[in-house]
Amino acid sequence: MKRALAIAGLLGATILVLLILPACNALNPACGSSRPVPNISSLSDSAVNFSDVQTGFTLTINGNNFVAATVGVVNGISLPTQLLSSTQLQITIDTSVISDPGTADVTVNTPAGNSGYLGCSSGGTSSALVLTIN
């Protein structure tokens, strides 16, 4: 009986610790399958000519925390994305995404991993950088 109570107490303490741990995945061992939130720092071109959009141009997005599931997003449209490294990816932008000169918001998104544990953050969307189309 004492052994059963000791095991129950240990199990309860373990669960309590896991529930109290912050969303910091490094501290919570139950968060092993979660993905980091991506960040973008710059675009290979901050301004392009609309004629480049009409022929399709490749935009390189620089940042960090990119994983295989990360996708480039322009004005809310997810585009086929080539992951070059954890700090760089490429997308092709054409008139199916941008139909006129102006500006476009560029973000990257990493879908959540398969972690279903409370307190585990997973994936997310970066802040936006603006691409100007002349």
Mean pLDDT computed over every residue of the chain: 82
Calculate mean pLDDT across residues 102-107: 98
Q: What would the pLDDT profile of 75-87 be if each residue is shown by its tens digit?
A: 999 999 999 999 9
What pLDDT sits at residue 115?
Answer: 47
Contacts of 37 (CB under 8 A, 6+ apart): 65, 110, 121, 123, 124, 125, 126
CATH class as words, domain 24-133: mainly beta
How far, in Å, CA of 22 to CA of 118, rounded? 10
In the block, which residue shows the tokens 């399958």? 33
What pLDDT sits at residue 112?
Answer: 81
What pLDDT sits at residue 20?
Answer: 46
From the list 69, 61, 66, 68, the residue with the least C-alpha distance to 107 is 61
Q: What residues does each domain of the chain span? A: 24-133
pLDDT of residue 100 exceeding 70: yes
pLDDT of residue 61 exceeding 90: yes
For the stretch 17-54, what's the b/e string if a residue is b when 16 or more beta carbons lie within 10 angstroms of its beta carbon? ebeebeeebeebebbeebbbbbebeebeeeebeeebbe
The reply to whether the predicted model has a pTM over 0.75 is: no
Q: What would the pLDDT profile of 3-34 be if each residue is shown by its tens digit?
A: 655 555 555 544 444 444 444 445 456 666 56
Q: What would the pLDDT profile of 27-58 be if each residue is shown by its tens digit?
A: 456 666 567 899 999 999 999 999 999 999 99
